[in-house]
Amino acid sequence: MAAAQKAPGVRNRGPRMFGIAVALLVVVTMVVGLFWSLQRSMIYFPDTSSVPAADEVLIGGEDLTLHTSDGLELDAWFAPPTPGARDRDLAVLVAPGNAANRYNRVGLAEQLQAQGFAVLLMDYRGYSTNPGHPSQDGLIRDGHAALDALDAQGFPPDRTLYFGESLGGGVIAALLAERPPAGAVFRSPFTELADVGRHHYPWLPVRTILQDRFPVVDHVRETSVPISVIRAEYDSVVPTELSAQVAAAAPNLVAERVLDADHNDPEMNGAAVAEAVAELADFIEANR
């Protein structure tokens, strides 16, 4: 009996499919490799514009120099409470978010001053005119340097509230265990940076290749520090459910405030945020 003949093209399909698979693997490897090499430029978006002197924009403002443990000198602003306001004898360390510098947070600082707080507005390495390049380790070093500067102003951690906005939440979360504050406020926090990356880049193996982790929720669940969480209901940058998970993980959650806003709306740096910080301070004072 004659052997059955193969349909035209079947004989070459195997090598062709193998070649396609190899080509796809090469493309994926190149994309992942490109992300690996450029990921910090895809994570950090520093505003590198210069800023005025502190006393030009804040009542009683003072320019400070932060000295990091790896030898950088970073510019920051310090300001006391507004004259006539109730002096709470507490400072607020403001660790800002990603695409800003301290000049963009003058309005928040003024609101906090009016609530009776001293305020330190920091800028990370690589932000504004500061030297260096941002990374997880670097930003945490910058946070420690800011705490050293506050200590020199008479505000050790137990007389300081940490305020971390978005990326800044990753910074203050890392400080909780080593230098516990009087309390901490997380504004638009993420659980960990990989969860935000997976939201924005669902086609990439973010958790596998990400260098900077900022495991906020891990730090939060291990601290007894009083914590408040402020989140935007319609957050297009950090999904609001991630912020809700941070609040749920806090053993000593004082308040969770949900604002009818998006991540960068003015309300997220306005009076309601300063009021939430003041409410946390009132709780701490009442329970001392």
pLDDT digits (tens, 9 = 90+) for 136-167: 999 999 999 999 999 999 999 999 999 999 99
pLDDT tens-place string over residues 72-81: 999 999 999 9
- Per-residue pLDDT averaged across 37-65, rounded? 84
Q: What share of the chain is helix, strand, coil (3-state, %, to 5)?
A: 45, 15, 40
- Per-residue pLDDT averaged across 51-70, rounded? 97
Question: Which CATH architecture group holds 42-286?
Answer: 3-Layer(aba) Sandwich (3.40)
With a cut of 70, say whether residue 69 has pLDDT above it. Answer: yes
Q: Give the pLDDT band of residue 14 (cuts 50, 70, 90).
A: low
Domain ranges of the chain: 42-286
- Walk across the sheet containing 183-187 and list its strands: 62-67, 73-79, 118-122, 91-95, 160-165, 183-187, 227-232, 253-259
pLDDT at 8: 54
Buried b (16+ CB within 10 A) or exposed e, 151-181: eeeebebebbbbbbbbbbbbbbbbbbeebbb
- The 8-class DSSP code of residue 222 comes to T
pTM assigned to the model: 0.86
Q: Report d(CA 147, CA 162) in Å as an integer.
A: 10
Q: Give the pLDDT band of residue 44 (cuts 50, 70, 90).
A: confident
